[in-house]
Amino acid sequence: MMDVLMLSRLQFAAAAFYHFLFVPLTLGLSVMVALMETKYARTGDETYLRMTRFWGKVFLINFVMGIVTGITLEFQFGTNWSRYSEFMGDIFGSLLAIEALGFFFLESTMIGVWIFGWKKLSRKAHAFVMWLVAFASTGSAVWILTANSWMQHPVGYVIRNNRAELADFFAVASNPYAILMFFHVIAAAYLLSSFFVMGVSAYHLLRKKNLEFFTRSFRMALTFGLVVSVFLVIEGHYHAADLAHTQPAKLAAMESHWKTESNAPMYMLVWPDADNEGNSVEALPIPGFLSWMAFHDSKAEVKGLMDFPRDERPPVAPTFFSFKIMAFLGFYFVLLMVVGWLKRNRLTESPGYLKLMLYSMFLPYVAIELGWMVAEIGRQPWLVYGLMKTSDAVSHISVSQAAGTLIGFIVIYSLLACAAGYLLVRFIKAGPQPKTA
Amino acid sequence: MDLPTIWFLLWGLLWAVYFVTDGFDLGIGTLLPFMGKSDTERRIMYDVMGPLWDGNEVWLITAGGVTFAAFPKTYAVMFSSLYTPLMLLLFALILRGVSFEFRSKVENPTWRKMWDGFAFLGSLVPALLLGVAFANIFKGIAIDGMGIYQGTLFTLLNPYGLLGGVFFLTFFLVHGSIWLAVKTEGDLHDRALKTAHGLWWVLLGAAVALILAGAFATRLYDNYLAHPALFLVLAFTVVCLLGVKFYLAKGRLWKAWFSSALTIVGATFYGIVGLYPNMLPSSIDPAYNVTVYNAASSPKTLTIMFVLAVIFTPVVLLYQFWAYRLFKAKVTEEDLTYDEA
């Protein structure tokens, strides 16, 4: 029998993962569509207008799904995690309020203007509205990730009146964890978007339709994607290395590293075995590499899982495998981008590569969801690292309430997934509107 | 005035602005199956809401966010106590938002009918539930000393709560049909106007019933009797409500709509000033009341938030006003011919 805690965790996980299926594409496409529309506004080139409208439609479907699923996330803190809200509201709540007041308003108001304002605004003003949408979406991401990072690495607070109270707003707003996380998430979102655009373009290029349109789209996304994929791998390294200081238990779980040691090796082949506090397979060591990765010093001491009490260790296997697969995919993406760059002038003559890009289109989705699993599962059993355990944060509600709404979420989200998927496939297959003479 | 009190008034104002802005969307959405006789008419109704609903709904997010930030305990108790209604509200808002975006994208009657149904439910359910929720807050919620809810969904469906639901729904219908009349022409315009006229009487009835029932079901009037000047809030609300009918009769639709908007603000504050200093009175024991003071965030957070609100709110109002002006023209059949994306 499931308890309220488990049901609430499932519910929040479902809502967060689902939300994050749509948000990254929105973040990346808003910038790409703004770029396309700017080119149209400056040159009057009809192809850029058609690109704006085609990719804009894909963007809008994702946008609305991101909006409606984001609303539930905000309110779930109050409904299912009321003890968390009460304990952390002073800091966490203000970050959410700043996000809403400063950015979400701008984003939501301007998207309406963009959709319905084609005839009411000049070309340049209309393109500018898209930049405002892109700017505001990014701003929203900054504050949401700052709020999340505070749960990962709480700073600038004092415990007073049985709750965490704000001591230093600047420290909260400039949390180094948040800065690393923001760049990681935004780069991942841009990478996903460029893969999406390239995958769809590859589909049409393989069918030899709208060649100019999709070659331009492909190349634009390729340039974008090449830069961010390299950045993402390098930045990802620093993000992970930072954990050695901020969340050593998560880092140890990501590597399935059990014994605290200096000059710690990294094994190329590992199979974790948490029950026996070790690994059932551990082969092909690179001496000192884990120490070097964590501290940029091959002699440094890396804390192992056995140094943490059993009830303060994250679930090792999910954290470990999520991290390893995500990292592996990161390198795979760079490889695909480099190959694409070499083939950029003869895309239509490279059907093999185009097919590979079409099939690889969904891998960034896998990578970003795995990334969240590393971040969120790796932080367990803490909800706020070192301050509040997840099990102490859940609301006093009945099992039937939590179960009923979980079923509600599954039904509604499945319905929406089918509808959004149907619309996206329909639009994408139909391709861009023909040229208006 | 101390900071928690200032934030309490801002909290009330945020809810009021949400009711004013999203109120007309929710009203029009509820009217959709009755008022939109053809696909063209229904599309016009969607386009009347289209450019603005998203920005409107953010007032709800902000009202929620500000409750979380300024009164964390209120946020925790309110949302976990009203768990089931709130989740139903969220599900309804999800379906509504998506139906606005998806509905007209496919030329298939079944597809459109499905989303029309969701748009209707997604508007009706929030309008009702918001009313039920706020009436229950005015009345007092069955929370114990730990802030844990001791009732069920049916505890909330008491006569005063249901009256609140009817009041909100009627209000949004009147507010929405005036906006629809402002934004349309021809037959649809005439029918919207007629609806506004007819429903105004229902609204008046619900308002009078609510004001009277408040004396028995709630303790709202304790504050009024202690400070009789507060009755001005009630008087202002009633005058605005009469103003709606007056301007409707004169055919001054914009003025009628603004009167309606001011009535909503007045009605919200009628409850808010009666509630103070409580935010969530307990129906079990007044000692368990969640008040402005025992729920407020630290002075530091309240101060920082206040500074940010003073900076950002005018900016938000400015560009929302700009957006409203940009789309102030009537929506006609002609507007539907061009592709919106």
Name the pTM for this structure: 0.90
Q: Which residues are within 8 A (CB) of A72 and not within 5 positions of it... i.e. 6 or more apart?
A: A15, A409, B90, B94
Rounded Cα–Cα distance for residues B98 and B268 (Å): 29
Low-confidence ranges of chain A (pLDDT < 70): 1, 436-437
**Which pLDDT score, from 0 to 100, does residue A289 have?**
83
Per DSSP, which regions of A167-274 are E strands? Answer: 261-262, 266-273
- Chain A nearest-CA distance from B185, in A, is 19
Q: Looking at beta carbons, which residues of chain A come within 8 Å of B312? A: 101-102
The answer to whether B58 touches A97, Cβ cutoff 8 Å, is no
**Which pLDDT score, from 0 to 100, does residue A436 have?**
60
pLDDT in tens, A130-187: 999 999 999 999 999 999 999 999 998 888 888 888 888 899 999 999 999 999 999 9
Check: complex ipTM more than 0.95: no
Please report the residues numbered 103 through 122 in chain A whose beta carbons come closer than 8 angstroms to any beta carbon of chain B.
104-106, 108-113, 115-121
**Which pLDDT score, from 0 to 100, does residue B341 have?**
41
Selecting from A67, A94, A161 the residue whose C-beta is nearest the C-beta of B301 gives: A94
> Does the beta carbon of A213 lie under 8 angstroms from any beta carbon of chain B?
no
- The DSSP letter of residue A397 is -
The answer to whether A143 touches A183, Cβ cutoff 8 Å, is no
Q: Looking at beta carbons, which residues of chain B come within 8 Å of A384? A: none
**Which pLDDT score, from 0 to 100, does residue A398 have?**
85
Rounded Cα–Cα distance for residues A244 and A301 (Å): 10
Give CA A24 to chain center in angstroms.
6
**Which pLDDT score, from 0 to 100, does residue A437 have?**
44
**Which pLDDT score, from 0 to 100, does residue A319 have?**
94
Rounded Cα–Cα distance for residues A178 and A150 (Å): 8
The structure tokens listed for A358 are 């079409």
The answer to whether A24 touches A193, Cβ cutoff 8 Å, is yes
| CA B141 vs CA A253, B9, B94, B286: distances in Å | 45, 21, 27, 11
- What is B221-263 written as a DSSP string? HHHHHHSGGGHHHHHHHHHHHHHHHHHHHHT-HHHHHHHHHHH
Among chain B residues, CA nearest to A132: B319
Amino acid, single-letter form, for residue A308 = F
CA-nearest of B211, B19, B272, B13 to B129 is: B19
Please report the residues numbered 377 through 416 in chain A whose beta carbons come closer than 8 angstroms to any beta carbon of chain B.
395-397, 401, 404-405, 408, 412, 416
| CA A148 vs CA A137, B81, B217: distances in Å | 16, 25, 42
CA-nearest of A111, A105, A130, A121 to A38 is: A130
> Does the beta carbon of A93 lie under 8 angstroms from any beta carbon of chain B?
yes
From first to last of its 341 residues, chain B has per-residue pLDDT tens of 899 999 999 999 999 999 999 999 999 999 999 998 888 889 899 988 888 888 888 899 889 888 988 999 999 899 888 888 899 999 999 999 999 888 888 888 899 999 999 999 999 999 999 999 999 999 988 888 888 888 888 888 999 999 999 999 999 999 999 999 999 988 999 999 999 999 999 999 999 999 999 889 888 899 999 999 999 999 999 999 999 999 999 999 999 999 999 999 999 999 999 998 999 898 888 888 889 998 888 898 999 999 988 999 899 999 999 998 898 888 887 777 555 44
Inspect the interface and report whether the beta carbons of A408 and B87 lie closer than 8 Å: yes
The answer to whether A194 touches A28, Cβ cutoff 8 Å, is yes
Q: Which residues are within 8 A (CB) of B77 and not within 5 positions of it... i.e. 6 or more apart?
A: A82, B143, B147, B149, B280, B290, B295
Cis bond upstream, residue B277 (ω within 30): yes
Please report the residues numbered 39 through 68 in chain A whose beta carbons come closer than 8 angstroms to any beta carbon of chain B.
53, 56-57, 60-61, 64-65, 67-68
